Copies of this chain bind each other. A is one copy, B any other.
C-alpha cells in the first residue's frame, strides 16, 4: 500500500487531459491521482472571445469537471494553489496542503502587461469564464447607458482592444460582428461605435502569413475596426489609453489582449522562469526535478528551427498532456524510458466572427468559410479529447 501521490495543478487543457489519460493508464493500486482547480469546471480558453463579445453563452465554453473525469479514479479538490514547497514536496493551497510524489504544474497563464501601468486597474484582462461574462455585460451596459445621458458620451461606444495577436483579433472579430445587432437592440446609430485595435509590434498577427493578415485586416476594417499598428500604449487610464506618441483615446472599455505570462506561483515557488514560464527538459520535467512535470502555458519550449519559444497554445498543451501522462505512468510503473516531447503543429486558425476566419492547415492557407469550418472542427476536436463523444454532442459547434 505504498501508492505514490500524483497531484495535478490546474484543469485547463493540459491538466484535465493529463488527469483523464492517467485515470485510464493507471489502476487504483498504482497511484492516488488528485486534481486541484480553482473552479468546479474546466473551460475552453480558446473560445472565450465568443462569450466575451456575447456571441455564444459563457455556459457553452465550460464543462463541469465531474462530467468529464471519473471521480472514482481521480480525487478532485476545488481550491487554489498558493505555493509549491519543492523541498517538502507539498503544495500549499488556500485551504489546506497536499503532499505529492509526482506533481504536474498546469496552471495556465495570466495577462502580460509589459509593465504598462493601469492594466489591472482599468482594463479587462481576465480571459476566464468570469472575466468573459464581465466584458460582455460591460459592453451591453455601455450600449444601454448611451441613450440615457442628456449629453452623449462617445467614450461609452468606443472599444479598445490592446494587442493584435490571436486573442485580440479573435475578440474584435466577434465584437465587430455583434455591433450591428447591439446598435439595433439599443437604438444606437452605427456610426457612433468606434473599435480600435492597438498593437505595439510592426504587424498584426505576428508570425502569420502576410496574405492572411491582410485578409483579416481588410475584413475587420470593412466592419469598422480601426487598426493602430506599431503604436505602443504608454498607460491605461480611467477613461481610456495614452499612447506612446502622446495621443489619447477616450474609451470606457479597454480589453487587454497583448499576450500572457506564467502565473505568479511559479516565481514565488523559486522556479527559474522566463516571464513566469519554466523552460522544461525534453521529457517535460522541470530542470533538477525528476518528480515535477510542467505543461501548457507554464512550460517553455524552444522551436529549434527559428530558435524562438513556441507560442502557448491549446494545441501544444493538449499534446504535452498526452506525453506527460505517458511519462508519469511509465515512472509510476517503475519504467525509466520517457518520451521526448515534440509538438506537431497541425494548423492554426483564427476566427474573425460569423463565418469568417483565416488559417493554415498543413501547408494550405485557408480564408473565409473554409477557414471558419476548420476552426470549428478544431474546437470540436478539443471537446472530443477532453470529454469524448458525449461532450462533443453537448457543446460541439456546427461547422456548416
Contact = CB atoms under 8 A, between A and B. Distances in A.
Interface of A: 39, 59, 126, 130-131, 133-134, 136-138, 140-141, 143-145, 147-148, 185-187
Contacts of A147: 130
B130 A134 contact: no
B148 A144 contact: no
Contact of A130 (B136, B140, B148): B148
Nearest to A186: B133
7 contacts: A130-B147, A130-B148, A130-B187, A133-B186, A134-B145, A137-B143, A138-B144
Contacts of A130: 144, 147-148, 187
A141 B148 CA distance: 17
Contact of A140 (B39, B140, B148, B187): B140
A59 B185 contact: yes
A133 B133 CA distance: 18
Nearest to A62: B187
Contacts of A138: 141, 144
A148 B126 CA distance: 8
Contacts of A133: 144, 186
A137 B137 contact: yes
Contacts of A140: 137, 140-141
A242 to B, nearest CB: 24
A136 B144 CA distance: 9
Contacts of A136: 144
Nearest to A143: B137
A136 B148 CA distance: 13
Contacts of A187: 39, 130
Q: Which 8 pairs, one residue from A and one from B, show the smallest C-beta to C-beta distance?
A: A137-B144, A137-B141, A133-B144, A130-B147, A134-B144, A137-B140, A141-B141, A130-B148
Given A130-B147, A137-B145, A138-B144, 14 more contacts: A39-B187, A59-B185, A130-B144, A130-B148, A131-B148, A133-B186, A134-B145, A134-B148, A136-B144, A137-B137, A137-B140, A137-B141, A137-B143, A137-B144
